[in-house]
C-alpha cells in the first residue's frame, strides 16, 4: 500500500468512504473497506454438492463455516488458474436481514482509496448489463477507473 | 455507612430496592422471606429493615413482631411494603411494631423519600 | 437520581412467568369446597408479587388486571367468599391471559387487552362491584397563599419503640417552609425515674408555608396513633402564650382532627399515583427477536458449576504436564510420556465436554408440566375422562431440544385424547374403565432420550388408514403392506382420518409436521399400536444438538460424514445379489430385504468416484423406517464431530444437514439421510413394492 494511501486512511474524512480495490480479469474493482474482515491466500475448499459453479465450496475460518465465491464465475467470466497471487477476501455483509460472512476469490488485491459519495456516480448502461445489479457505480481515481461492487447483491445467492 | 435489610420474595423487587439503596449510599443485605431475614438480623446489626408483607415461610408482619422482641431492634425503623388493598395490613403492622409503610408500586425516588423519614 | 429500571425487567419477567406456572399448578390441585389454605395462600402470593412488580416497573396493564385477581383471592383466603369451580376456571384463564401479556411486554410490544378486559369484567361481576381504584390524584400542590399553621405534637411515651425519630420529622417540617419551634419539657420526670427509652417531650410548631395541610399531616402519618397531633390553621396569628398545664393539647377544633383523618387516604394514594416510567424511551441496543419466545437465561445448579471447575482444573494440570514434556528432548521415553499425556488430555476433554453439555440440560418436568392443564381442558372439551400419568420427570435433556419438542408432544397428546381415547360410554361397552389413561414416560437410552406417549384407547384403525391412504393416492390398492407400515402412513403429508376436521388435532397437517419437527432435532418418531388396546408414540432425540457420532466416508476425493446412529451395517457388495429395477435403480438383496442403492457420487454430482459396484462399499442406513444403501468409495474413521451450521453463512443444501471441522482443519459435510433420499428421487422407498416390481421384472437372481 502506498504511503499516500496510508495517509488517506489516517485522514479519512466523514463524507468519504474507504474502498479496498482488487483486480479481476484486467479490471479494477472496489468494495467498501468496512465490509472487509480479512484477506487470506487461497487454500483448499470443501465442495458443496449441487451448488452453482461460482460457489467453490466452504472453508473453516477459525471454527466458522464460510462459503467461498469465485467472482469471475459469478460475473460469468471464464475462471482462472489459481496462482500465488490469488487471494480470498473475507467480507461480512447483511443479506436479507441476516449477517453473513463469505469469501470472494479475486486475482489480486490492489489498493485502498478514499472515495466520497458524490464521486461514485451511477452509470445506467454499464457494459455488462447482466451484471448491472452487482455494480454500485463507477469512480475515477487518478487516471484509473474503479468499478464499485454492490456486495449485498453479489453475495445474495437466492 | 448505614446498613439496611431488604426482604421480599420477589427477586426483581429485591434487586431494585437493593440497587436503589446502594446507590444512595447504604449498605444492603437481601433476604427472600421473613425466616431468612430473622436469621440474618440476629447475626448482624441493621439500621433499618424494609420488608414485604406477603412472603412464604414467615410473612412480614410476623417478622416485625419477632424483630421487636430482640433488644437490638427495639428502636430500629421497620418499614412494611404494602399494596393499596392492604389498608388493614397497616393496622396489623403497626400493632406488630412497624414504624411505617411504603405503598406498592413505588419508584426508587419514592423509596428514598420515605426512608428519609426514619434514617439519614 | 434516576435509576434505569429496565435492568430489572428480565428478572421480573422470569419470576413472573414462573409465578404463573406455580399458580397454574396449584390451581389444578384445588378442590373447591375442600381447599387447602396453604395452596390458596401460594396462589395469592404469586398474584400479589406479579401485581406489585408490574406496578413498580410500569407495566400498568398487568398490574391493573392482576388487581382483580388479587382482590378475589384475598377474599377467598380471608374466608369472606367461598371458592367455586367457576373461580378456578376463570383464574386459569387469567393465567393464560397474563402469560400472553407478559410475553408481549417482554418483546417490547403492547399487549392485546381484549381478552384481559373481558376476563376482568367477569371478575367484577363476581366481586359485585366495579372497584373504585383509588383515583385520588393529589400531588402536593402549592397553594397560592402562604399560611401559618400551629402544630401541636406530643408523642406518647412509647413512640421511640415504633422506630420513628421525631427529629427527622421536625426537619421534614422545616423543609416545608419557615418553622418556629417550641419544646415542652414539663413532662420529663426526674433524672432518677427517667426511662431513657421513653419520650416525654412535646412540641409546638409554627409553620409558615405555601404547602397545603395535607403535606404536614403526611409527615406525621405514621405516628398518628402514637402521638397527639393537632394542626390548626392560624390566620397568621401567633399564639405565644402557653401555660405549663397545656400539656395535653388546647381546645382543638374537632374539625382539625377530622381533617387529619380525611387527609389520610389522600396521602396514601399520592404515594401510589401511577408513575410513568418510560419503558418506551429505554431503547435496547438490539431489538429482541420476538419469534423465539424462550427466555435467554438458564439456571444452573451449583453442583454442576463445581463439577466444571474441577474438570477445568484437571485440564490445566494435564496441559502443564504436556508442555513440560514438550520442553524435553525428543526420545523414545518422551514420546511414550507424550502419548500418555495425550490420552489423559482426551479423557479430560471428554469429561469437560460431557459436563458442559449437562449445563444445558434441564429435567423434562418443565415440558411435562404443561400437560396436566392441557389434558384437563381438552378432556373437558371432549367430554372424556382422562387420567394423566407422568413418569421419568427428572430425566434431563438439552434446553433447546426441550423447547422444540414441546409442541410436537402437545400434538401427539391431543391426538391421543381426540382419536385414541374413547368416550366413557364406549369404554364401558368394551369392558374398559371409563377413565382412560395417557402416560408420558421419559428415559435415557444410549446417547438418546426416549419419550413415550401411551394411551389405552382404541389403537390405530389400520383399515381406515389404509383406505384413506388409497383415497389420497399415497398407496395403491394392490400394495401389500404390513400393519406397521400402514400405521407409518399417518406421518405422510396430507393425511387425516378425522371424520370431521376437529380443531383439537388439526386437519391432517399434524403428523407429518410433527415428524419433520422431530427430525429437525436429529430425532425420530415411531408409532406402535394394537387395536382395542392402545397406541404408543415413541420419540427419540439426541441428548444434545451440537455433537454427533459420525462415520467418515470417502466419495470420490471428498470426505462426508454419515450419522452413526442411522447406520445399520456396512458391507461389500455381492454383485450376484444386485438386480436392476426399472430404468436405473439397483437394489441389493440383503437377507430377506431389498435395499435400494444410492450412488452418492451421482446424487452429489462428483466426478472421479469408483462406479463399479464390486469395488465399492455400501453403507446401509435407516431413516423413517426405510432402509437404503449409500455407495461410498471407502470407509474412513469414526469420530465424534461438532455440528456447525452451513446455513449460517451460506444456505440450506438438500441432502446435507450441517458441516463439521475435521482434525486436519478441513470442512466436512454431514449427510442428512432423509433429505438425501428425497434428493435422490427415490419415489417409493418402501422395500416391499420392490418385490412386486422385482417379480415383474423376472425374478431375483
Size of interface A-C (CB pairs under 8 A): 69
pLDDT value at residue C601? 92
Cα separation values, C166 from B115, C55, C156, C171, C268, Å:
14, 32, 11, 9, 20
Nearest chain C residue (CA) to A44: C666
Does residue C248 carry a catalytic annotation? no
Which of C:274-333 have CB within 8 Å of B?
275, 277
Q: What is residue C291's predicted lDDT score, i.e. its pLDDT?
A: 40
Beta-carbon pairs below 8 A across chains B and C = 136
* pLDDT at C2 exceeding the cut of 80: no
CB contacts of C607 in chain A (<8 Å) are none
The total number of residues shown for chain C amounts to 701
Question: What is residue B50's three-state secondary structure?
Answer: strand
- When CB atoms are compared, the residue of C650, C654, C661 closest to A67 is C650
Inform me whether the pLDDT recorded for C686 exceeds 60. no
pLDDT at C219 over 50: yes
Grid cell locating B75: 428502636
* Minimal Cβ distance to C669: which of A44, A46, A158: A46
Within 13 Å of residue C687, how many CA atoms lie on the same side as its CB? 20
Asked if B76 lies within 8 A of C225 by C-beta distance, the reply is: no
Please report the pLDDT score of residue C562 as a whole number. Answer: 94
C70 an active-site residue?
A: yes
> How far does the CA of residue A121 sit from the closest CA of chain C (Å)?
31
Q: Regarding predicted confidence, which is higher, C200 or A118?
A: C200
Q: Phi first, then psi: what are they for C682, rounded to 5°? A: -70, 110
Share of chain C above pLDDT 90, in %: 17
Lowest-confidence range among B94-103, C276-285, C351-360?
C276-285
**Which of C13, C38, C102, C163 would you mutate first to test chain B, the one with the most B CBs within 10 A?**
C163
Q: C655 — contact with chain A (CB < 8 Å)? A: yes
Residue C334: is its pLDDT beyond 50?
A: yes
Grade residue C693 by pLDDT with cuts at 50, 70 and 90. very low
Catalytic residue, candidates C15, C41, C48, C198: C48
CATH number at residue A44: 2.40.50.180
Residue among C168, C77, C173, C228 nearest B59 (CA): C77
Backbone angles phi, psi at C589, to 5 degrees: -85, 115
At residue C144, the pLDDT reads: 62
Chain B residue numbers touching C77 (CB-CB < 8 A): none
Q: What are the residue ranges in chain A where pLDDT is below 70?
A: 1-15, 118-130
pLDDT of residue C569: 93
pLDDT tens digit string along C609-658? 888 888 899 999 987 767 899 999 999 999 888 888 888 889 888 889 88
Q: What is the pLDDT of residues C395-427, one digit of tens each?
A: 888 888 888 899 899 989 988 898 889 999 999
**Is C74 part of the contact surface with chain B (CB cutoff 8 Å)?**
yes
Residues of chain B with pLDDT under 70: 84-87
Between CA C405 and CA C450 the distance in angstroms is 12
The CATH number of domain B3-115 is 3.40.50.2300: yes
User: What's the pLDDT at C446?
Assistant: 67
Q: Strand order in C617-623's β-sheet?
A: C567-572, C617-623, C626-632, C593-599, C585-590, C578-581
The answer to whether C500 is a known catalytic residue is: no
pLDDT of residue C292: 44
**Touch test C–A: 3 Cβ pairs or more under 8 Å:** yes
- C447 pLDDT band (50/70/90 cuts)? low
User: What pLDDT, on the 0 to 100 scale, is given for residue C129?
Assistant: 61
Give yes or no for a contact between C136 and C191, defined as CB atoms under 8 angstroms apart: no
Residue B75 or residue C477, greater confidence: B75
Q: What is the pLDDT of residue C29?
A: 80
Assess whether pLDDT exceeds 50 at residue C465: yes
Beta bridge partners, A67, equal A58
Q: DSSP characters for C251-294?
A: ---HHHHHHHHHHHHHHHHHHHSPP---TTTS--SS---TT--S
pLDDT for the residue C243:
37
Q: Tell me the pLDDT tens digit for each residue of C118-158.
A: 888 888 888 876 544 443 344 445 556 788 888 888 888 88
Cβ-defined contact of B97 to C165 (cutoff 8 Å): no
> Which residue blocks in C327-398 are alpha helix, DSSP H?
332-359, 365-368, 370-382
Instruction: Give the per-residue pLDDT at C244.
Output: 37
Widest CA span in chain B: 35
Q: What is the mean pLDDT of chain C?
A: 79
Higher per-residue confidence, B35 vs C224: B35
% of chain C with per-residue pLDDT over 70: 83
CB contacts under 8 A, C 150-189 vs B, are 160-165, 168-169, 172
Report ipTM (2 d.p.): 0.84
% of chain B surpassing 70 pLDDT: 97
pLDDT at C20: 93
- Look at residue A130 in the predicted model and tell me its pLDDT: 66
| Contacts for A122 with CB less than 8 Å, ≥ 6 apart | A136, A137
The pLDDT, as a whole number, for residue A101 is 94
Mean pLDDT of C452-468: 88
Q: Is the pLDDT of residue C195 over 80?
A: no
Q: Do A50 and C651 lie within an 8 Å CB cutoff?
A: no
For the stretch C289-328, pLDDT in tens is 334 444 567 778 888 888 899 889 989 999 998 988 888 8
Give the HSE-up count for residue B68: Cα atoms under 13 Å, Cβ half-sphere: 20
Distance from A91 to chain C by nearest Cα, in Å? 11
Q: Confidence band (pLDDT; 50, 70, 90) for C509?
A: low
Output phi, psi for C635, to 5 deg. -100, 135
Query: Model pTM?
Result: 0.53
The count of structural domains within chain A is 1
Which residues 6+ apart lie within 8 Å of C280 measured at CB? none
Write down the pLDDT at residue B47. 93
Q: Is C183 exposed, middle or buried (0-12, 13-18, 19+ CB in 10 A)?
A: exposed
Query: Do residue C163 and residue B16 have CB atoms under 8 angstroms apart?
Result: no
How would residue C198 be classed by pLDDT, with cut points 50, 70 and 90? confident
pLDDT digits (tens, 9 = 90+) for C227-270: 888 888 876 444 443 333 333 334 333 333 333 333 333 333 33
- Domain extent at residue A81: 3-154
Contact call for residues B14 and B8 (beta carbons, < 8 A): yes
pLDDT of residue A119: 67
Amino acid at each position: 500500500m502506498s504511503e499516500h494511501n496510508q495517509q488517506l486512511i489516517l485522514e479519512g474524512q466523514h463524507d468519504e468512504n474507504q474502498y479496498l480495490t482488487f483486480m479481476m480479469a484486467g479490471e479494477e474493482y472496489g468494495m467498501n473497506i468496512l465490509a472487509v474482515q480479512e484477506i487470506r491466500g487461497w487454500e483448499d475448499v470443501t465442495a458443496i454438492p449441487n451448488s452453482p459453479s461460482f460457489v467453490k465450496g466452504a472453508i473453516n475460518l477459525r471454527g466458522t463455516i464460510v462459503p467461498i465465491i469465485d467472482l469471475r464465475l459469478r460475473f460469468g467470466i471464464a475462471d482462472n488458474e489459481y496462482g500465488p497471487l490469488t487471494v480470498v477476501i473475507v467480507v461480512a455483509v447483511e443479506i436479507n436481514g441476516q449477517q453473513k460472512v463469505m469469501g470472494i476469490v479475486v486475482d489480486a488485491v490492489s489498493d485502498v482509496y478514499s472515495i466520497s459519495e458524490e464521486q461514485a456516480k451511477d452509470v445506467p448502461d454499464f457494459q455488462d448489463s447482466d451484471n448491472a445489479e452487482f455494480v454500485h457505480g463507477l469512480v475515477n481515481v487518478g487516471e484509473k477507473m474503479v468499478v464499485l461492487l454492490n456486495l449485498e447483491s453479489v453475495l445474495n445467492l437466492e | 455507612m448505614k446498613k439496611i435489610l431488604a426482604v421480599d420474595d420477589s427477586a426483581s423487587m429485591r434487586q431494585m430496592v437493593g440497587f436503589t439503596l446502594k446507590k444512595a449510599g447504604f449498605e444492603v443485605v437481601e433476604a427472600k422471606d421473613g425466616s431468612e431475614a430473622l436469621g440474618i438480623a440476629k447475626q448482624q446489626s441493621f439500621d433499618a429493615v424494609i420488608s414485604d408483607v406477603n412472603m412464604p415461610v414467615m410473612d412480614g408482619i410476623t417478622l416485625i413482631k419477632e424483630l421487636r422482641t430482640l433488644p437490638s431492634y427495639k428502636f430500629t425503623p421497620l418499614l412494611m411494603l404494602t399494596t393499596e388493598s392492604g389498608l388493614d395490613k397497616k393496622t396489623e403492622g403497626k400493632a406488630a411494631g412497624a414504624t411505617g409503610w411504603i405503598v406498592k408500586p413505588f419508584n426508587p425516588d419514592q423509596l428514598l423519600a420515605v426512608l428519609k423519614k426514619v434514617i439519614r | 437520581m434516576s435509576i434505569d429500571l429496565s435492568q430489572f425487567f428480565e428478572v421480573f419477567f422470569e419470576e413472573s412467568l414462573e409465578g404463573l406456572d406455580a399458580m397454574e399448578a396449584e390451581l389444578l390441585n384445588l378442590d373447591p369446597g375442600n381447599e387447602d389454605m396453604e395452596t390458596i395462600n401460594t396462589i395469592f402470593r404469586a398474584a400479589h408479587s406479579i401485581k406489585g412488580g408490574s406496578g413498580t416497573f410500569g407495566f400498568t396493564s398487568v398490574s391493573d388486571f392482576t388487581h382483580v385477581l388479587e382482590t378475589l383471592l384475598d377474599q377467598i383466603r380471608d374466608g369472606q367468599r367461598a371458592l367455586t369451580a367457576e373461580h378456578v376456571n376463570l383464574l386459569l384463564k387469567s393465567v393464560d391471559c397474563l402469560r400472553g401479556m407478559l410475553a408481549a411486554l417482554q418483546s417490547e410490544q403492547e399487549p392485546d387487552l381484549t381478552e384481559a378486559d373481558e376476563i376482568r369484567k367477569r371478575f367484577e361481576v363476581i366481586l359485585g362491584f366495579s372497584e373504585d381504584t383509588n383515583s385520588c390524584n393529589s400531588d402536593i400542590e402549592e397553594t397560592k397563599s402562604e399560611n401559618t399553621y400551629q402544630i401541636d405534637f406530643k408523642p406518647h411515651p412509647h413512640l421511640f419503640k415504633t422506630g420513628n425519630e421525631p427529629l427527622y420529622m421536625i426537619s421534614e417540617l422545616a423543609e416545608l417552609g419557615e418553622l418556629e419551634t417550641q419544646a415542652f419539657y414539663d413532662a420529663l420526670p426526674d433524672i432518677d425515674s427517667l426511662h431513657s427509652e421513653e419520650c416525654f417531650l412535646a412540641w409546638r410548631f409554627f409553620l409558615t408555608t405555601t404547602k397545603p395541610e395535607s403535606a404536614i399531616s403526611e409527615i406525621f402519618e405514621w405516628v398518628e396513633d402514637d402521638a397527639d397531633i393537632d394542626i390548626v390553621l392560624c390566620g397568621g396569628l401567633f399564639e405565644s402564650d402557653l401555660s405549663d398545664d397545656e400539656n395535653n393539647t388546647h381546645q382543638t377544633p374537632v374539625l382539625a382532627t377530622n381533617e387529619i383523618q380525611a387527609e389520610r387516604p389522600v396521602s396514601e394514594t399520592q404515594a401510589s399515583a401511577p408513575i410513568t416510567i418510560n419503558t418506551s424511551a429505554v431503547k435496547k441496543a438490539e431489538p429482541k427477536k420476538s419469534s423465539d419466545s424462550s427466555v435467554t437465561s438458564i439456571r444452573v445448579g451449583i453442583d454442576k458449576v463445581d463439577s466444571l471447575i474441577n474438570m477445568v482444573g484437571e485440564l490445566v494440570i494435564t496441559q502443564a504436564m504436556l508442555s513440560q514434556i514438550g520442553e524435553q528432548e525428543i526420545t523414545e521415553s518422551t514420546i511414550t510420556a507424550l502419548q500418555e499425556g495425550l490420552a489423559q488430555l482426551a479423557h479430560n476433554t471428554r469429561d469437560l465436554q460431557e459436563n458442559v453439555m449437562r449445563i444445558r440440560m434441564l429435567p423434562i418436568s418443565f415440558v411435562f408440566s404443561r400437560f396436566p392443564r392441557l389434558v384437563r381442558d381438552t378432556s373437558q372439551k371432549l367430554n372424556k375422562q382422562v387420567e394423566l400419568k407422568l413418569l421419568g420427570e427428572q430425566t434431563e435433556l438439552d434446553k433447546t431440544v426441550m423447547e422444540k419438542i414441546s409442541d410436537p408432544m402437545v400434538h401427539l397428546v391431543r391426538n391421543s385424547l381426540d382419536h385414541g381415547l374413547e368416550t366413557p360410554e364406549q369404554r364401558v361397552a368394551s369392558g374398559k374403565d371409563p377413565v382412560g389413561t395417557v402416560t408420558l414416560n421419559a428415559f435415557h437410552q444410549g446417547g438418546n432420550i426416549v419419550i413415550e406417549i401411551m394411551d389405552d384407547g382404541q389403537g390405530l384403525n389400520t383399515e381406515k388408514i389404509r383406505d384413506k391412504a388409497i383415497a389420497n393416492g399415497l398407496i395403491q390398492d394392490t400394495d401389500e403392506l404390513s400393519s406397521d407400515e400402514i400405521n407409518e402412513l399417518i406421518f405422510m403429508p396430507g393425511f387425516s382420518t378425522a371424520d370431521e376436521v376437529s380443531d383439537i388435532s388439526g386437519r391432517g397437517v399434524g403428523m407429518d409436521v410433527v415428524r419433520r419437527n422431530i427430525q429437525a432435532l436429529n430425532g425420530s418418531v415411531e408409532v406402535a399400536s394394537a387395536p382395542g388396546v392402545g397406541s404408543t408414540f415413541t420419540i427419540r432425540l439426541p441428548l444434545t444438538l451440537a455433537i454427533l457420532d459420525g462415520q467418515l466416508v470417502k466419495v470420490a476425493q471428498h470426505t462426508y460424514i454419515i450419522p452413526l446412529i442411522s447406520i445399520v451395517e456396512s458391507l461389500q457388495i455381492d454383485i450376484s445379489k444386485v438386480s436392476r429395477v426399472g430404468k436405473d435403480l439397483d437394489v441389493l438383496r440383503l437377507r430377506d430385504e431389498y435395499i435400494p442403492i444410492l450412488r452418492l457420487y451421482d446424487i452429489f454430482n462428483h466426478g472421479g468416484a469408483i462406479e463399479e459396484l464390486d469395488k465399492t462399499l455400501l453403507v446401509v442406513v435407516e431413516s423413517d423406517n426405510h432402509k437404503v444403501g449409500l455407495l461410498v468409495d471407502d470407509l474412513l474413521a469414526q469420530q465424534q464431530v461438532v455440528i456447525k451450521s452451513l446455513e449460517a453463512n451460506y444456505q440450506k443444501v438438500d441432502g446435507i444437514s450441517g458441516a463439521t471441522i475435521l482434525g486436519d482443519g478441513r470442512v466436512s459435510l454431514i449427510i442428512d439421510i432423509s433429505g438425501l433420499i428425497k434428493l435422490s428421487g427415490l419415489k417409493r422407498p418402501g422395500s416391499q413394492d420392490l418385490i412386486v416390481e422385482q417379480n415383474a421384472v423376472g425374478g431375483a437372481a
